[in-house]
Amino acid sequence: MSTSIDFLLWVRGPGFDIALFIFVVGVLIRLLEVLILGRKPDYSEPRGAELGAGLLTLVTRTAPEGGSFKRSPFTVVGGYIWHIGFLVSLFLFVPHIELIDSVLGIRWPGIASNLVDAIAAVTIVTLVAMLFSRLTHPVKRFLSGPEDYLTWVVTFLPMLTGYLAYHRMIDPYPLVLGLHILSVELLMVLFPFTKLMHAFTFIIARWYNGAMAGRRGVQS
């Protein structure tokens, strides 16, 4: 890879194929781990329904909890902002939709690029603010480990490099576009083996906790 074009061609070709393979296989293995764990037979008489309680917990645990908002409003609001901003940038930016269409053969309408750009800028600022909060708040800093900072880095880099590429702030353009794609591939490779996996497992975990509480006849 002697030129930026060679670098771009590699990350769009073999590099992306490798990252996609690790992402898909890794996610499947992690989900299989969760599903085959099973649970011991519960011979006690159910005191309530599992399905309804599980679905209710899915909804209630997704909405912000009043006590948490009072204790740490910045963490709650910032968390919603960057999650929503990241998903909008990933799934509603037209070039991303075209890439997904080329890989999976499915597509959906996107939104205006300048709107995605504005949302991405807010998301980047929010991520920086949340890192600053984590580093300066004594409790958050105590509870944070290397994996927390690693997941922040691999989440932040695609947003930053995407913003730089969209505004062509690094010359030559193929280099910054290649760096953006490479940062996404880094995220894909680490996704199944870090806390980022909660994007797939949180539904299972919340439903299970709610269902077990419902079976015991208590509120989750």
Which pLDDT score, from 0 to 100, does residue 202 have?
Answer: 77
* pLDDT tens figures, 75-131: 889 999 999 999 999 999 999 999 899 888 999 999 999 999 999 999 999 999 999
* CA–CA gap between residue 160 and residue 169 (Å, rounded): 11
> pLDDT category, 38, cuts 50, 70, 90?
low
Which pLDDT score, from 0 to 100, does residue 1 have?
Answer: 67
Identify the sign of the CA torsion 77, 82, 83, 85.
positive
Question: Is there a contact between 53 and 214 (Cβ–Cβ < 8 Å)?
Answer: yes
* CA–CA gap between residue 187 and residue 20 (Å, rounded): 10
Q: What is the pTM of this model?
A: 0.83
Which pLDDT score, from 0 to 100, does residue 181 have?
Answer: 96
State the total domains in the chain: 1
> pLDDT category, 171, cuts 50, 70, 90?
confident
* CA–CA gap between residue 194 and residue 147 (Å, rounded): 7
Question: Token digits for 132?
Answer: 């600053």
Q: What is the mean pLDDT of residues 44-62?
A: 72
Q: What angle do CA 70, 85, 210 make, to 5 degrees?
A: 55
Mean pLDDT, the chain, rounded, equals: 87
Which pLDDT score, from 0 to 100, does residue 72 have?
Answer: 78
Is residue 7 predicted with pLDDT exceeding 80?
yes
Is residue 68 predicted with pLDDT exceeding 90?
no
CATH number at residue 117: 1.20.950
Q: In terms of residue numbers, what domain contains 117? A: 4-216
> How far is residue 183 from each of residues 44, 176, 179, measured CA to CA in Å?
50, 10, 6
Closest CA to 189 of 150, 161, 163, 159: 150
